[in-house]
């Protein structure tokens, strides 16, 4: 449904009496022709309303598409914070943009994901904290695309960018132990609806999600070493449920004195529930989050949490992917290495009296 015949390289070439290749070079390889001619070509193109080479045609000819995909776990989005995801995406996109690559979202929640993963043109992809058993992930692998796994345990030989979830969680739990807590609740999705007061091992489904599995493992390591058995486990399916779950938690006769939360967003819900139950934080209940989400500073008391640098994670993932893509063309480049970014415990008001008001 184009009103007029499309302007192509050839049509410009014809009007100027030069070869099509020369016009192509005027746009893509300015050093291949004289400035004078290039100027005439660009002027003619402008007057004809030509906008530059057609992206699809160029992709076909060059083999590069100008975009990389992100397999995005929208289910986990409910457990992790959207803000963290958005920040990550922003960091990746920013790091990619100078090289002219855009970021294509392949949300896993939608029905069409397999089709997307199979049919959308891309030069590489990032799998961001999604279930490793996802069919769409299979397709990306079969397409033999450069692939970076973020917050996931990568298959052998694949590149992963992770953070030290386990170490951070261990530090968080150890912090509570050091404060003398012996009745500690774990507030995390990943256990089934039948999760009892004392948690068993993580069910298979949760074990697949590295973020949950590792943080859980870290907590358990520190607690077990101290002889503390987590007394209660609460399994919010959505963040919205976390508050409701926390209320149940506090109603228990054997109320915990501290809560380890999978994320800051969940911790915030626990704080709100504690306030509603008339519990003082940190005196009656200590609360620890994870991520150092911006909101950890906006709660009152401020939230003790484990800081991760989402921005750095995004940039590292983008750089690793760029390296992989470059490696396709130049086999002499070394493969990017797996990276595990450090995290750091941030002690604030929700576990230490006196921290409430100040940073």
Partner DNA sequence: GTAAATATCTTTACCGGTACAGAAACCCGT
Partner DNA sequence: ACGGGTTTCTGTACCGGTAAAGATATTTAC
Please report, as residue ranges, which positions from 266 to 305 form the binding site for a copy of itself (by CB under 8 A): 268-269, 271-272, 275-276, 294-295, 297-300
Among DNA, a copy of itself, none, the one that 28 touches (CB under a kind-dependent 5 to 8 A) is: DNA
Question: Across-strand partners of 150?
Answer: 128, 161
Among DNA, a copy of itself, none, the one that 300 touches (CB under a kind-dependent 5 to 8 A) is: a copy of itself
25 in contact with DNA (CB under 7 A):
yes
326 in contact with DNA (CB under 7 A):
no
Binding mask 47-76 for a copy of itself (x = CB under 8 A): --x-xxxxxxxxxx--x-xxx-x--x-x--
Which range touches DNA (CB under 7 A), out of 12-20, 75-83, 91-99, 135-143? 12-20
Q: How far is the CB of 255 from a copy of itself (least distance, A)?
A: 19
Is residue 350 within 8 Å of residue 302, measured between CB atoms? yes
15 in contact with DNA (CB under 7 A):
no
Q: How far is the CB of 188 from DNA (least distance, A)?
A: 45
Helix spans in 257-342 (H): 264-276, 310-329
Which one of 12, 45, 79, 103 is in contact with a copy of itself (CB under 8 A)? 103
146-175 positions binding a copy of itself, by CB under 8 A: none
236 φ, ψ to 5°? -65, 130
Is residue 214 within 8 Å of residue 207, measured between CB atoms? no
Q: How far is the CB of 143 from DNA (least distance, A)?
A: 11
Contacts (Cβ under 8 Å, ≥6 apart) of 9: 20, 23, 24, 53
Q: What residues make contact with DNA under the rule CB under 7 A? A: 6, 8-10, 17-22, 24-25, 27-29, 31-38, 53-54, 57-58, 60-63
């Amino acid at each position: 449904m184009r009103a007029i015949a499309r302007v192509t390289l050839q049509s410009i070439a014809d009007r100027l009496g030069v070869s099509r290749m020369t016009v192509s070079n005027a746009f893509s390889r300015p050093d291949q022709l004289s400035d004078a001619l290039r100027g005439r070509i660009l002027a003619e193109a402008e007057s004809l309303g030509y906008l530059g080479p057609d992206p699809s045609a160029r992709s076909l000819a060059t083999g590069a598409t100008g975009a990389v995909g992100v397999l995005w776990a929208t289910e986990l989005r409910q457990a992790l914070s959207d803000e963290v995801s958005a920040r990550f995406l922003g960091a990746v996109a920013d790091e990619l943009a100078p090289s002219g690559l855009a970021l294509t979202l392949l949300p896993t929640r939608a029905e069409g994901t397999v089709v997307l993963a199979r049919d959308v043109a891309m030069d590489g992809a990032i799998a961001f904290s999604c279930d490793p058993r996802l069919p769409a992930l299979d397709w990306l692998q079969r397409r033999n695309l450069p692939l970076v796994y973020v917050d996931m345990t990568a298959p052998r030989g694949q590149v992963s960018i992770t953070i030290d979830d386990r170490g951070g969680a261990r530090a968080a739990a150890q912090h509570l132990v050091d404060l003398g807590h012996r009745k500690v609740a774990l507030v995390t999705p990943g256990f089934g609806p039948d999760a009892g007061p004392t948690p068993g091992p993580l069910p298979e489904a949760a074990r697949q999600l590295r973020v949950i599995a590792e943080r859980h493992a870290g907590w358990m390591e520190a607690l077990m070493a101290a002889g503390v058995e987590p007394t209660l486990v609460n399994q919010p399916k959505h963040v919205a449920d976390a508050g409701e779950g926390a209320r149940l938690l506090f109603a228990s006769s054997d109320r915990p004195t501290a809560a380890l939360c999978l994320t800051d967003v969940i911790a915030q819900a626990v704080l709100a529930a504690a306030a509603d139950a008339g519990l003082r934080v940190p005196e009656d209940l200590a609360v620890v989050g994870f991520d150092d989400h911006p909101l950890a500073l906006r709660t009152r008391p401020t939230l003790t949490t484990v800081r991760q640098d989402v921005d750095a994670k995004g940039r590292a993932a983008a750089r690793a992917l760029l390296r992989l893509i470059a490696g396709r063309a130049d086999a002499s480049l070394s493969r990017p290495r797996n990276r595990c970014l450090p995290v750091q415990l941030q002690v604030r008001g929700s576990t230490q009296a006196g921290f409430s008001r100040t940073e």
